[in-house]
Structure 1
Amino acid sequence: MGKVLMTISKIVSALSSSEIVLELKVLKAIVEPPVQVLKARATLKDGYLLEISESVGPDFRRYSYHLQKEDAMIKRWDNSPHWKNLKTFPYHIHKGNEAEPRESPEVFIEDVLREVKKLLSSNP
């Protein structure tokens, strides 16, 4: 699975310590070894919103990081196993209102925060 799986507390810590996160709301947190589940919403600088959904266990990881501004989706990184034609299956990214997703490597919260920082710095 690439990188070592992040625990829910590490994801919350990464969000809480990020300078682009203005407010973090944990909507659901379950830590019942060996399974952990997190659903959270982060209000970001410049009116962006990031919705986080992560479930991890000994042999699985499901995630969705949904970035939007107002009512418009900007990007969503996820690994729902429904785009089998992609080389990076099940990992993919949805951009704006494009009908088909694009290939993407597996991502973690640090990757998403790094991408959002780039987006914010390119839109002064």
Structure 2
Amino acid sequence: MKLSSRNILIYLAAFLLITSALLFFLGPDFIQAKYYYLCSQEKKGQMGDAFGGTMGPVIAWIAAILTFAAFYIQYEANKEQRNQFAKQANDTVIERFENRFFELIKLHRRMSKNKIYKIL
């Protein structure tokens, strides 16, 4: 089964959403459940710093992955646009040739008609 870039992005977004939700909603409860209410104010500050220190890199990784995904989508869109421009250029060349060809046929018929009348 070949995954398209759209499916990959959907799976990536779902994974990041689930992971972020788990970390944001369950992370503080997991850290605080055992120690928070029994600790002094200083220990609570240290736990907050520890949680912030562990969540910071996770959020940075998520941001980096989403930035990469945005650049990849833009790269794919640019490739598609280049293909469309190349097709449009080819169509323009063919259309110019057809116009020139039919104009020459029209000119040839007109010249042929004039020669026939001059002979008669």
Structure-2-length-normalised TM-score: 0.23
Higher relative contact order (CA 8 A, sep 6+): 2
The structure with more radius of gyration: 2
